[in-house]
Amino acid sequence: METKFLDDINANLGIIYKVCNIYSDPKSDEREDLFQEILYQLWKSYPHFKGFSKFSTWMYRVALNTAMMHSQHKKHNLETTGLELSHEQIEESVEQFHKDEKIQQLYKSISTLSKVDKAIILLFLEEHSYEEIASLTGLTKSNVSVRLVRIKRVLKEKMTQSLNIN
């Protein structure tokens, strides 16, 4: 089971990095803590994954829920008995998310949004359908649509301001 878990995680590792980039402060150890917490929650939930949805969809749900809860409860001690992952087992591809300055500015702008709006825009940028976003966030499809229009407008304003400053 551990090998299958690692294969599935490595195939979708970018999801964890994207969620961590949006829900944590890049200037602290918070990102690594959140990364570990998401991995722990994925491992803990993995035996319950029945394949009724795509693995990546399930992984997004767990990662987003964990990130939202983590931001509410920054410090809590969890025992990770039974899960011994080394950095060699998890591909480190975080560098690809830190190269482009515009992407960093977008992440910075997204980080100012509410928890739910962060999830919505992240899923939208990952080209999930409105139905999938609604399902993952618990919102209606029309609510997702309205929120996306507002989120895009806010992000466009923030990006324009930051590019004019720089």
Summarised one tens digit per residue, pLDDT across range 47-104 is: 989 888 889 989 999 999 898 888 666 544 444 444 555 444 454 444 444 445 677 7
> How open is the CA angle 107-109-110, to the nearest 5 degrees?
65
43, 75, 94 - which closes a domain: 94
Same domain, 110 and 81: no
- 14, 89: one domain: yes
Last residue of a domain, one of 49, 79, 94: 94
pLDDT value of position 141: 95
| Tokens describing residue 8 | 């599935």
Lowest mean pLDDT among 7-16, 80-89, 107-116, 132-141: 80-89
Residue 112 sits in the same domain as residue 160: yes
Return the CATH number at 142. 1.10.10.10
Can you give the residue range of the structural domain that contains 16? 1-94
Both 45 and 6 in one domain: the answer is: yes
Domain end among 69, 94, 119: 94
- The C-alpha atoms of residue 11 and residue 33 are separated, in whole angstroms, by 21
Q: Are residues 86 and 115 in the same domain?
A: no
Number of domains in the chain: 2
pTM of the full predicted structure? 0.64
pLDDT tens-digit readout, 100-127: 567 777 888 888 999 999 999 989 988 8
Query: At 65, which CATH number?
Result: 1.10.1740.10
Cβ atoms within 10 Å, residue 19: 25
